[in-house]
Amino acid sequence: MPTPASSFQPIDVFDTLHELLRIFRMRMRQRLAVVCPQLSFGELRVLMKVGEHPGCTQKRLVEHSRVDKAQMARMLAQLQDKGWLLRSESAQDRRVRQLRLSAQGQQLFGRLAAERAALAAELLQDCPPAMQAQLQLLLAQARDSARAQMAGGAHRGEGAAPATEPGIP
């Protein structure tokens, strides 16, 4: 139930976002169990990021996840062992391994991307497309404002945020 305007607090936005993302993740886990039961939710997130950003590095994935280096290395090895991920030397720095999906991984990525899109449409079916577009614009504005605050270190003396790649939140 929406919060009446008279009692609205900015934290209500984050509480609502948190609940919506919780529902999305729960439902996506249910779909994942049907589409690809041998893929963990963490592996799904990595597979989706690599599919969206071919050539990204393990370091970049760690910077944009809640996973430490060792855990990420294990996940990448598992994805590679399952035949979904390829690692290759960077042309700029031979010590760096760039990540790409294999043909099998790209096929799985396509299926999972379609499942995610279908679930998002299902969860937002009661919101007209114009309202969805407006919501996206407002959320992007809030995100950009928060990033600018972090990058400037202006809020409570915090340090600068790590650099972000386009499209990797």
Query: Can you give the pLDDT at residue 1?
Result: 57
Query: Can you give the pLDDT at residue 159?
Result: 46
- Which alpha helices (H) appear in the chain, and where do they start and end? 11-35, 41-52, 58-63, 69-81, 103-123, 129-152
Q: CB of 30 within 8 A of CB of 122?
A: no
Fold held by 13-127? Arc Repressor Mutant, subunit A (1.10.10)
Per-residue pLDDT tens, the chain, 169 aa: give them: 565 667 889 999 999 999 999 999 999 999 999 989 999 989 999 999 999 999 999 999 999 888 899 999 999 999 999 999 999 887 888 778 899 999 999 999 999 999 999 999 999 999 999 999 999 999 999 999 999 999 987 555 454 445 454 445 4
Backbone angles phi, psi at 95, to 5 degrees: -80, -20
Among 107, 114, 117, 58, CA closest to 87 = 58
Query: Can you give the pLDDT at residue 167?
Result: 47
Domain boundaries, the chain: 13-127
